[in-house]
Amino acid sequence: MSKNMTQKWVGTLLSCTMLVTLAAACSSNSNGGNNTVNNNGTTNAGSNAPIASPAAPAVDYGDTGGLTLPLVDKPTEITWMVSSDFNVDNTLVVKELEERTGIKVKFQTVPSSQYKDKLSVTLASGDLPDIFYGLPINDLKEIGQEGGVVAINDYADMLPNFSKLYLEENPWIISSYGDESGKLFSWPVYELNRDVNHGFMYRKDILDANGIQPWTDTDSFYSVLKQLKEIYPDSYPYASKTGVGVFRDWAYGWGVGSYEYPVFYNEGAGEWQLASTTAEHKAQLDFMKKLYNEGLMDPEFITDTADSWSSKMTTDRSFVTWDWIGRLDLFYGQVKDANPSYDLRYGLPVGPTGNIRTLPKVDANFALAVANNKNSEASLKLLDYLTSISGSQLISLGVEGVNFEWDENGKPVYPELADRDVIDIFALSEKYGMWLESTYLRPDKRSVYFNYTEREQEAQDLINSEQRFEALDPVLNFTADEVSEIVDIKTSIQTAAEEFNTKYVLDASYGDVQWNEWIARTESLGVAKLLEIYNAAQARYDAAQ
Amino acid sequence: MPDTNIVSLPVKEKPTFKSKMARLGKRIVRDRQLLIIFLPCLLFYLLFRYGPLYGLIIAFKDYSVFRGIVDSPWVGFEYFEKFFNAPEFWQLFRNTFLLGFLTLVFSFPAPILLALLLNEVRISWFKKGVQTASYLPTFLSVVIISSMIIDFLSPTNGIVNNILNSLGFASKYFLIDPDWFRPIYIISEIWTNAGYESIVYLAAIAGISPTLYEAAKVDGASRFKMIFSVTLPSILPTVLIMLILKTGNMITIGYEKVLLLYNTMTYEVADVFSTFVYRKGLLANDYSYGAAVGLFEAFVAMALLLISNYVSKRMGGNGLW
Amino acid sequence: MVGQRKFGLFDLFNTIVLALVACATIIPLIYIAAISLSDTASVTQGKVWLWPKGLNFNAYSQVLNDIKIPRAYLNTIMYTALGTFINVFMTCLAAYPLSQREFVGRKYWMFLIVITMFLNPGIIPNYLIVKELGMIDTVWALVIPNAIWTFQLIILKSFFEGSSSAIREAAKVDGASDYRILFNIMLPLSKPALASIALFYFIGHWNSYFLPMIYLNTDTLYPLQVVLRQMLVFSEGSGSSAIVEAAALAPQAKKNATIVLAMIPVLLVYPFAQKYFAKGVMLGSEKG
């Protein structure tokens, strides 16, 4: 290879680079204008036609809960950082919001997989979006105390919907989600959760084919698995893909479940305890151990991947599992071509309590916050509007007559999306900007989100008919120091508990001796201090009620 | 006394500051062209590698994202103390060190061997084909690779156990056996990286002057012998550099792969510094803690690098500087 | 000069070992490709091994029909070409002076450079600097802050060192400037080294996904890996109750299709780069 070749090579590369640089310069020029983060809420008077704002709206936008539309005197732009995989700049929702409230919302959409990192760098670089969510609640409280975000309840008099729904009807959220001085920095979300979202499920077609009745309690659960094993000796009737999460998921059935697992609130004793050392937990472990030893539980439950578990559940190598409710229909959809009689159904809870977890009605863990700047008041009013019936309908249903109609069952139908196979919140979000994460502050129950399929409805009914819900543990409020201490101790205890639980089930030699050693071990890891912190916070919570 | 037989050695004058500066000045002038060529690199490192280093002080501060690096309060060595006093510290240290060391020992020779073997291939398409195939795994993400490993090693229907069964052995649940964690990790590291890393050695081999081989052949060396007498010695500088660099990197084990391959039954050997920090981070964002651990790891890594560089030079080889 | 060597025992052993290596690395990829071409039911049931079952191209058509894909491909090609060029250029400029034994301050430069490999202050300080330079949301954020990888710099420097410094002496005697020596003498001599670091940089750019996500805000600037990953998250859906129809794809098929699509262009580049690794003349054979 000679000098000429090299020169030619270098020459080609240089010209490519120049072309490429030109292209890059062009594209960055044309994008240069759009991406400055407007944290000062500069008005874009140039690019928007001014809205006839001060006059009262000619259109009736429904129940605004006492807010007067439009919300601002002059055109205002607000930046809202959300996790979304589509750009929603010119969608129906954005346009409607601008028309109704006078506020132009610039949604800064960030791909969901990188949201947390993007939020960190955005905050670190000093560009707080006007509205954002996703920080851990304790971090948000710190920022609030330093004046970075506003205390929502300070502005309660201009926020009628917030005042009614939360201050009046659900005042406990201040003591749970606010800071020590009673300031709330995160806007709650109202009634987003369905009643039943996870649980045990089983192959109804297999059970029917073999004349087995679905279980109604723990003993019959065991007996169903045993019968299945006899008929299908090469199978492991119960499979799991949640790895070590299986202990936490089953815990509700034994009365020791909690969102703070392995710490839980014992209603009877009125105090927080460590689930992993209670007698109930031992009973749960013993039951699991029995299933494992008799070949009723998949021996690789602790390492099984989602793909492998899917394959077992759809090829008659396992028949019972615990998962998110959507799986009932998802599996059917995936394998019906190969096996049309495949029928996965929701089963009753397993464990002495016979209950599943309760999903909170009001949740502020989103940590939806408003930055403390020129636009704070406008942002707050916007959030209040989205909490009103009128605003929440826009976000969760749309605009009647414009993008949806009511069908005979009182459910919304979207003619423009008729050709899509699936009309879920992703489709609505892509096409109309509806259902963007953190904007659905009070979803309308008629929205497609609450469309239950037959299987899902069956699940809701099964649990609701007997109110099989474990009491929801109080949401406690910790100081920054407490959080720091908790993290240290809890990580150690949680790790040790997971190790112990797994060994207890998998290792035949583990028994009472090891159980007692385990209890002693937690003491040396600092469980007493951990529970002390929890119970102190509980005392504060009780006092605040 | 008459010491006419002893040649008096010129007394070495202690170099004065001035003379040192003068010498330096001369060298700068002599190397001015090189310095100009070097300038962009210098600017780059200053701006993009040293510039951000002020962020390391996060490890000594109670960092909050909002307050920023400069305004967060100093806490000195608090996070380091917390870390060293954690009950798991020694287990983590042992695990991290052993995993890193064993990975280095077993995975270091693989790319070299691969390059040597590839070099001996005559048939062009075969050589290109194997080369291309060997570095494809680097395109797979850690998640995919770990999934595959878990599936292959499944005790109920994984490939490995199927083969064992057909050979008459019982199935073994490898993934929960602490004794198997390191071998599995190391083998998967070799599989993923050997091809990619062999590229460097192949390039080194390509630069060996053919006359050396001619000479050896004239001396009657077999192909096998030529590898030892010509190829290996010629690529020794490259090998040493890679060895030094990898020794430095030995204990900086990323959390992702371990996280995906370990489970509660193997924590006791598999849990390393980075996975520990990761689990803590799940409960609460603690940048300062993570930064402290990172700084500690960096410190150990630098020490390892300095030691291995020194050893290499002492033993007559080349070093990084 | 010398005729073809005969195919001896060593060659046999060599061939077998290398064939096994190739199998070990290719088979998992065939497995991935097979899944991407199979029908939903077979994939979910885990029935696909090395051959597609229910051959169909749905996964590929779904991925390729997304309007973001062509733009993303173009972006990646542009970033990779520009980035690799800058990388190689800068690395050469850095490696050449460092490779001269008498270069003033050489030991100190090396030390300062090497320790940067271990000190990683995290994404935030880096982000702040990139922001100060006004590079956020431009292609420059992807090619400048990582213009030199210390690892490659060290490799290239050690290659340059291998080239005899006598060459430089001789050239200097002839009155050549260092610029000429570098570009007209060292570079042509170092093709294998240049090719190898270029390849590493190329792969780095092609696979990169985290930094583009952090530094870019406009979705029309996203490279391929980012767009592909966005698609996967979406298709896995969660939370809403989906009305599931026959067209619901098994997520593995789509995921694997994205992997294959991202890999194909690279497979085409490598053989092109490989010729730089070929030895000039190997004893006992003639090379094309």
pLDDT tens string A387-411: 999 999 999 999 988 889 898 888 8
Note the pLDDT of residue C242.
26
At B17, the pLDDT band (50, 70, 90 cuts) reads confident
Q: DSSP string spanning B71-136? A: HSPB-TTHHHHHHHHSTTHHHHHHHHHHHHHHHHHHHSHHHHHHHHHHHT---HHHHHHHHHHHHG
In the predicted model, what is the mean pLDDT of residues B185-212? Answer: 89
Distance CA A313, CA A543 (A): 49
Among candidate residues B65, B52, B81, B51, the one with its CA nearest the CA of residue B293? B81
Tokens of C205: 């750019």
pLDDT at A68: 85
Most confident of A526-535, B17-26, B152-161: A526-535
pLDDT tier at A516, thresholds 50, 70, 90: very high
What distance in Å separates the CA atoms of residue C250 and residue C256, rounded to the nearest whole number? Answer: 10
Q: How many other CB atoms are found less than 10 A from the CB of residue C176? A: 15
Cβ atoms of B95 and B272 closer than 8 Å: yes
Angle between helices C150-162 and C191-207 (to 10 degrees): 170
Q: Are A163 and A156 in contact (CB under 8 A)?
A: yes
A158-172, A427-441, B137-151, C225-239: which has the minimum mean pLDDT? Answer: C225-239
Q: DSSP code of A297? A: B
Instruction: Report chain A's mean pLDDT, rounded to a whole number.
Output: 85
Q: How confident is the model at residue B3 (pLDDT cuts 50, 70, 90)?
A: low
Of B88, B156, B286, the CB nearest to A299: B156
Note the pLDDT of residue A186. Answer: 93
Q: In A, which residues are within 8 Å of B276 by CB distance? A: 491
CB nearest to B173's CB, from A120, A300, A498: A300
Alpha carbons within 13 A on the beta-carbon side of A310: 23
Query: C171 CB near a chain B CB, below 8 Å?
Result: no
Nearest C-alpha neighbor of C263 from the set C33, C83, C11: C33
Interval A342-394: pLDDT, tens: 999 999 999 999 999 998 888 888 889 999 999 999 999 999 999 999 999 99
Q: Which of A305, A483, A492 sits opposite B284 (nearest CB)?
A: A483
Q: Per the CB < 8 Å rule, is C129 touching B301?
A: no
Position with higher pLDDT, C257 vs A59: C257
Backbone angles phi, psi at C24, to 5 degrees: -60, -30
In chain B, % helix, strand, coil (3-state, to 5) comes to 75, 0, 25
Angle between helix axes C106-115 and C68-99 (nearest 10 degrees) is 150
Residue C284: pLDDT over 70 = no
Residue B6 pLDDT > 80: no
DSSP letter at A178?
S
Q: What is the DSSP letter of A149?
A: B
Of the partner residues A138, A148, A499, the one whose CB lies closest to the CB of residue B66: A148
Radius of gyration, CA atoms only, chain B: 27
C-beta separation of C260 from C33 below 8 A: yes
**Distance between CA atoms of residues B88 and B93, nearest Å:** 9
Nearest-angstrom CA–CA distance, B43 and C133: 14
- pLDDT: which is higher, A159 or C3: A159
Which residues in chain B have Cβ-Cβ distances shorter than 8 Å to C276? 203, 206
Residue-wise pLDDT tens digits, A303-327: 998 888 999 999 999 999 999 888 8
Contact A23, A94 (CB under 8 A): no
**pLDDT bracket for residue B185 (50, 70, 90):** very high
| Minimal C-alpha gap between B37 and chain C (Å) | 6
pLDDT at B90: 94
Q: Chain B: nearest CA to C69, how far in angstroms?
A: 19
CB A254 within 8 A of CB A286: no
pLDDT tier, B318 (very low <50, low <70, confident <90, very high otherwise): confident
C207 touches chain A (CB under 8 A): no
Query: Do the chains contact at C121 and B52, CB–CB below 8 Å?
Result: yes
What are the contacts of B99-105 at 24+ separation with CB within 8 A? B99/B182, B99/B185, B99/B253, B99/B258, B99/B269, B99/B270, B99/B272, B100/B250, B100/B251, B100/B252, B100/B253, B101/B250, B102/B182, B102/B186, B103/B185, B103/B186, B103/B189, B103/B250, B103/B253, B104/B246, B104/B247, B104/B250
Q: What is the largest CA-CA distance in chain A?
A: 87
- The pLDDT value recorded for residue C195 is 87
CB C262 within 8 A of CB C228: yes
From C188's Cα to the closest Cα of chain A, the distance in A is 7
Is B93 or A37 the better-scoring residue by pLDDT?
B93
- Residue A23 pLDDT: 42
pLDDT at C5: 62
Minimum mean pLDDT range among A36-45, A450-459, B49-58: A36-45
Nearest to A134 by CA among A540, A452, A437, A451: A437
Which residues of chain B neighbour C120 with C-beta distances below 8 Å?
294, 298
- Give the pLDDT band of residue C277 (cuts 50, 70, 90): low
For C178-206, write each residue's pLDDT tens digit: 888 888 888 887 888 888 889 889 989 99
Angle at the Cα of A218 from the Cα atoms of A212 and A219, rounded to 5 degrees: 65
More confident residue, C101 or A441: A441
- Residue A262 confidence (pLDDT): 93
Q: What share of chain A is helix, strand, coil (3-state, %, to 5)?
A: 45, 10, 40
* Chains in contact with C, counting 3 or more C-beta pairs less than 8 Å apart as contact: A, B
Task: Decide if A308 and B151 are in contact by the 8 Å CB cutoff.
Answer: yes
pLDDT category at C240 given cuts 50, 70, 90 is very low
- According to the model, what pLDDT value does residue A21 have? 43
Higher pLDDT among residues C152 and C183, named by residue: C152
Statement: residue A36 has pLDDT above 60: no
C25 close contact with B: CB closer than 8 A: yes
Decide if C214 contacts A117 (C-beta within 8 A): yes
Side by side, the strands of the sheet bearing A187-190 are A103-110, A76-83, A131-132, A362-370, A187-190
> Per-residue pLDDT for B307 more than 90?
yes
Q: Do C25 and B217 touch (CB under 8 A)?
A: no
Cα–Cα distance measured from residue B139 to residue C208, given in angstroms and rounded to the nearest whole number? 10
Give pLDDT tens digits for A117-162.
Answer: 888 888 888 788 999 998 888 888 888 888 889 999 899 999 999 9
Please tell me which residue, A487 or C281, carries the higher pLDDT value.
A487
How confident is the model over A276-284, as a mean pLDDT? 95
Residue A50 has pLDDT above 60, yes or no: no
In which band, very low, low, confident or very high, does the pLDDT at A30 lie, cut at 50, 70 and 90? very low
User: Can you give the pLDDT at residue C179?
Assistant: 82
Q: How far is A305 from chain C (nearest CA, A)?
A: 12
Q: Rounded to the nearest 5 degrees, what angle is found at the Cα of A392, between the Cα atoms of A403 and A449?
A: 70
Which residues are registered as beta bridge partners of A371?
A: A149
* CB-CB under 8 Å, C107 with B31: no
Each residue's pLDDT tens digit, B222-232: 888 888 888 89
Omega before A70 within 30 of 0, i.e. cis: yes
List of chain C residues whose C-beta atoms are within 8 Å of the C-beta of residue B124 = 287-288
Nearest chain B CA: its distance from C61 CA (Å): 22
- Whether residue C85 contacts residue A21, with contact meaning beta carbons closer than 8 Å, is answered with no
Phi and psi for B274 in degrees, rounded to 5?
-70, -35
Nearest-Cα residue of chain B relative to residue C209: B141
Q: Pick from B139, B163, B167, B142: which is nearest to B153 by CA?
A: B163
What residue spans of C100-223 are helical by DSSP H?
A: 106-115, 123-132, 140-143, 150-162, 165-173, 178-180, 187-189, 191-207, 210-215
Supply the pLDDT for residue A159: 93
Chain C, 29-68: which have a CB under 8 Å from a chain A CB? 39-47
Q: How many CB atoms lie within 10 A of CB C103?
A: 19
Q: How many CB atoms lie within 10 A of CB B197?
A: 24
Q: Would you list the DSSP string of A377-431?
A: HHHHHHHHHHHSHHHHHHHHT--BTTTBEE-TTS-EE-GGGTT-S--SHHHHHHH
Chains touching chain A through at least 3 C-beta pairs below 8 angstroms are B, C
pLDDT at A66: 84
**SS3 at position B301:** helix
State yes or no: pLDDT of A48 exceeds 60: no
Chain B contact present for A143, CB below 8 A: yes
For A338, residues 6+ apart whose C-beta sits below 8 A from its C-beta are: C41, C42, C45
What local confidence, expressed as pLDDT, does residue C266 receive?
A: 80
Q: Are C188 and A6 in contact (CB under 8 A)?
A: yes
Tokens, residue A456: 């899902």
- Chain-centre distance for alpha carbon A507: 35
The whole-angstrom distance between A371's CA and the closest CA on chain B is: 11
State if pTM tops 0.90: no
- The helix (run of H) or strand (run of E) holding residue A264 is strand A263-266
d(CA A186, CA A137): 8
180-239 in chain B: CB under 8 A from chain C: 191, 195-196, 199-200, 202-208, 210, 213-214, 217, 223-224, 226, 237-238
Q: E strands along A28-164, which residues?
A: 76-83, 103-110, 131-132
When CB atoms are compared, the residue of B40, B202, B245 closest to C151 is: B245
Cβ neighbours for A427, distance < 8 A, ≥ 6 positions apart: A417, A420
- In Å, what is the CA distance from C209 to each residue of A118, A124, C55? 13, 21, 30
B41 with C90: Cβ contact below 8 A: yes
Strand order, beta sheet including A344-346 = A320-324, A198-203, A344-346
| Across B174-198, average pLDDT | 93
Stretch B233-255: mean pLDDT, rounded?
90
Chain CA centroid to CA C42, Å = 33
Q: Identify the closest residue of chain A to C236 by CA–CA distance.
A: A330
Predicted pLDDT of residue B4: 56
Give the best residue of C36, C243, C256 to mutate against chain A (max A CB count within 10 A): C243
Mean pLDDT of B137-151: 87
The distance of B58 to chain C (nearest Cα, Å) reads: 8
Q: Which residues of A touch B66 (CB under 8 A)?
A: 123, 139, 142-143, 146, 148
Q: In the predicted model, is pLDDT for residue C3 greater than 60? A: no
Domains and CATH numbers, chain B: 31-76 (no CATH), 84-314 (1.10.3720.10)
Higher pLDDT: B285 or A78? It is: A78
| Residue A48 φ then ψ, to 5° | -110, 145
Q: In 3D, which of B42, A221, B113, B119 has the Cα closest to residue C279?
A: B119
Who has greater pLDDT, B283 or C142? C142
* Among B residues 77-106, those touching chain C with beta carbons less than 8 Å apart: none
Q: For C67-117, give the secondary structure using H, E and C.
A: CHHHHHHHHHHHHHHHHHHHHHHHHHHHHHHHHCCCCCCHHHHHHHHHHCC
d(CA A370, CA C189): 61
* Tens digit of each residue's pLDDT (9 = 90 or more) over C19-62: 999 999 998 889 999 989 998 888 888 888 889 988 889 888 88
Q: Which of A85, A314, A424 sits opposite C44 (nearest CB)?
A: A314
CA distance B66 to chain A (A): 6
With residue A346 as reference, give the H or E element that holds it: strand A344-346
Q: What does chain A come to in residues? A: 545
What whole-number distance in Å separates Cα of residue B263 and Cα of residue A428? 39
